[in-house]
Amino acid sequence: MANNDNFIVAVDLGSSKVSAIAGRKQADGAIQVLAFAQEPSEAFIRKGRINNFDKMSSCIANIKKRLEERLKKGVGKMYVGIGGMGMHTTPNTILKTFPEKIKVSQEVVNSIIEENLQVQTQDREILETIPQEYTVDTQRTLEPVGILGARLEGNFLNIITNSATRRQITDCFAEANIEVVDLPISALALASRVTTEPERLSGCVFVDMGAQTTSVAVYSRNILRHLAVIPLGGANITTDIMQAFDIEEKEAEDLKLHYDFAIESIDESEEETFTVSHGRTYKLNELKELVGARLEEIIANVQHQIEYTQMATSQINGGIVLTGGVSKTPGIIEAFKTITKVDKVRLVSNKYLQYRCDRPDFNNDDTYNTAITLIEEGDVNCCSGQLGQENDLFAERQRVESQKAAEAAKREEAEAAKREETAAYEAIKDSRDKDAIEAFLEKYPNSIYAADLRAQIDQIEKEIKDEEERAKKQRRKDERKERWKKFIGKLRNMMDDE
């Protein structure tokens, strides 16, 4: 990106902090960080979901102001990472059969991808679809185009979230006069940068251990096989310590990061103690058992997600890749190895990300890692011009509301057209009326049913041709029979004359 009026802004909605970065992509692949800002989010984000609209909008307005002060430019758009409790993957299979072998075209593949998207419901939205495998007759492949077959099966992994999530995010940002350009999936954006291709090819598990949630992404053959968000995180450990030892949050955090909590590190004969701020003294083993139990619960949930994929430990040759605040807990690597039985476990730090910033203290705690990777997902300029040139707040809000209403009307119009198309298809899908089918294709040339109907026309034409051929053979047979009858008649007449 060439000038100061061109930059990308990305926001990570964490359960403990909202982190935002304005930056540019460099020719060598690094991110040049131009401005950054963080705001605490415990009061309005829970388990990755917004639960206070006004506080969230106020937070975004503050972040916008801080970025603009540093940039000396207006910020009108942002990329916002989406995640949180409720996001998960579900498999789906779409099957198409043809009356005879065809060469699979991109149009046919697109039609089953589109048909897969029809499974989303009013309260569940498909954020992204990951093709897992195609089967043409009995041949399995990732690239079916060009293969001959009479049967095409597509296996897909749909990433699903509550349909209200997108609307909540866009509405909050609109309140702060920010247009949301896109909602990349935070866990996948980070995973794609901190896991290596060899790890994903040989099978690996990415685990982002946040404050209130733990995201798990499982890869095999360089393809995402499973994604889940577990509603447990570092805040649960901190709360356990606060309640058990009657101390404040800051002191509980310090204790959590000070001692080794490896699952097998508890020595029953250990007499070491620690003293908290109010003067009471406790055995260190009490703290280790408390934290160890919660860590074991979180890791056991991660293990359950791995087991759900039916991948054996021997198939996770790329190991487990850990990131997030809880991953800094002393002993975490040994705890994962003990519970999951996976020998290869590594921690991720900001050294795995390419970025440049003129502030040496930037991202020392890795809390901007996700926002950095979200910048890499963007390609739309988020600058709105010089400060002070933006439209009046009310006028801008009216424009955003008008745009949202127009988009809603457009969506309703598209849905109505789709319902009309589906009804028209239902009326002719079993028809032998070639003219009616051709009329449908003329009206809906890009329909998801087009490939099926063209195959149906081919079948009708084949049946007509076969029928004509049968009729022709029958006529010839009848003609031979008639000639034979005449011959026999003449022969009988001759015999009668004699």
More reliable by pLDDT, 118 or 198: 198
One domain, residues 62 and 101: no
Residue 80 lies in a domain: yes
Q: What is the pLDDT of residue 295?
A: 92
- Are 53 and 181 in the same domain? yes
pLDDT computed for residue 4 by the predictor: 73
Write down the pLDDT at residue 268: 66
Which residue is listed with tokens 């089918």? 437
Confidence of residue 344 (pLDDT cuts 50, 70, 90): very high
Cα radius of gyration rounded to whole Å, the chain: 32
pLDDT of the residue at 393: 47
Does residue 376 carry a pLDDT above 80? yes
Query: Does 70 fall in a domain?
Result: yes
Round to whole Å and give the CA distance between 445 and 443. Answer: 6
- pLDDT for 460 equals 85
Q: Which of 313, 348, 383 is the last residue of a domain?
A: 348
pTM of the model: 0.77
Residues 6+ apart with CB under 8 A from 36: 19, 20, 21, 22, 67, 357, 359, 362, 368, 371
- pLDDT at position 2 is 45
Closest CA to 286 of 278, 299, 276: 276
Which of 98-102, 181-185, 442-446 is least confident? 442-446
* More confident site: 303 or 455: 303
Mean pLDDT value across residues 384-389 = 72
**Same domain for 215 and 105:** no
Q: Which residue has the higher pLDDT, 3 or 341?
A: 341
Q: How confident is the model at residue 1 (pLDDT cuts 50, 70, 90)?
A: very low
Same-domain status, 101 and 77: no
Domain with 281 in it: 196-348
Asked if pLDDT for residue 121 goes beyond 80, the answer is no
| Domain containing residue 370: CATH number | 3.30.420.40
Per-residue pLDDT tens for 154-167? 999 999 998 888 88
Is 395 a residue whose pLDDT tops 80? no
Distance CA 336, CA 426 (A): 53
Does residue 301 share a domain with residue 273?
A: yes
- Asked if residue 337 and residue 231 are part of one domain, the reply reads yes
Average pLDDT, the chain: 89
- Answer yes or no: is pLDDT of 59 > 80: yes
Residue 102 sits in a domain of what CATH number?
A: 3.30.1490.110
For residue 390, pLDDT beyond 60: no
DSSP one-letter string for 306-321: HHHTT--GGG-TTEEE
Given phi > 0 = left and psi -120 to 50 = alpha, else beta, which region is 111? alpha
Percent of the chain with pLDDT over 70: 94
- Same domain, residue pair 76 and 94: no
Q: Which residue has the tokens 């011959």?
A: 487
**How far apart are the C-alpha atoms of 277 and 248, rounded to whole Å?**
9
| Mean pLDDT within 26-41 | 94
Q: Say which DSSP state 8 is in.
A: E
How many domains does the chain divide into?
3
Reported as a single tens digit per residue, the pLDDT across 262-289 is: 665 556 667 889 999 989 999 988 998 8
The verdict on residue 434 lying in a domain is no
Q: At what angle do helices 234-245 and 249-258 cross, to 10 degrees?
A: 110
Same-domain check for residues 285 and 300: yes
> pLDDT at position 73, please?
93
Please indicate, yes or no, whether residues 33 and 59 belong to a single structural domain of this protein: yes
> Is residue 13 within 8 Å of 40, Cβ to Cβ?
no
Same domain for 94 and 80: no
**146 domain-assigned:** yes
* Helices 393-428, 163-175: inter-axial angle, 10-degree rounding: 160
Residue 212 counted as domain residue: yes
Q: Considering the domain boundaries, does residue 408 fall inside one?
A: no
**Shared domain check, 344 and 222:** yes
What phi and psi, each to the nearest 5 degrees, are found at residue 276?
A: -95, 175
- Per-residue confidence (pLDDT) for residue 47, from 0 to 100: 80
Q: What tokens were used for 242?
A: 């606060």
- Examine residue 460 and state whether it is found in any structural domain, yes or no: no
Q: So what's the pLDDT on residue 339?
A: 93
Quote the CA–CA distance of 294 and 242 in Å, as a whole number.
13
Which band of pLDDT confidence, cut at 50, 70 and 90, is reported for residue 37?
Answer: very high
* pLDDT score for 85: 80
Phi (first) and psi of residue 374, to 5 degrees: -70, -30
Q: For residue 344, is it within any domain?
A: yes
Q: Are residues 40 and 97 in the same domain?
A: no
